[in-house]
Amino acid sequence: MDEVDLFRELAKQERWEEALPVVEALVRRAPQVDTSWFNYGWCLKMLSRDGEAVDAFLRCYLVGGQTDDEAFQLASELIHTADPDAGLPATPDEPFALAAELLRQRLEASPPNKPGGLQ
């Protein structure tokens, strides 16, 4: 069983702690594969590591040529959950670099221990 199949099997069984090092190895080995970044983000989301999940979903969006609307939406939803007044626009209509910079600023302004901050 290769790493992709192993990750899929662990994810199917919702064994996220065990799946994490597998998907981390996938993104290290092939950082140009957007689906690996998406799976990494999903795994982090399932482990309630939302700040890191946002980063992974945004990387998926960038690596995928800014065409993965689902990754963009998940990143935006995680930010909005942490701070209802924050988040990325409903659609990626502004230049992505600007949106990513705004995201970084919002994450820095909302440290993990602050109520409503990302965990």
Query: Residue for token digits 């790493």?
Result: 3
Question: Does residue 115 lie within any of the structural domains?
Answer: no
Largest separation between any pair of C-alpha atoms in the chain: 44
Region 58-65 average pLDDT: 77
Look up the CATH number of the domain holding residue 44.
Answer: 1.25.40.10
The predicted model gives 34-43 an average pLDDT of 90
Distances from the Cα of 75 to the Cα of 51, 88, 98, angstroms: 9, 8, 15
pLDDT by residue (tens digit) across 73-110?
777 766 665 555 555 544 444 445 555 666 656 556 65
pLDDT of residue 105: 62
pLDDT band at 112 (very low <50, low <70, confident <90, very high): very low
Please give the residue range of the domain that contains residue 71. 3-109
Is residue 50, in this structure, part of any structural domain at all?
A: yes
pLDDT in tens, 3-18: 999 999 999 999 999 9
Place of tokens 């989301």: 45
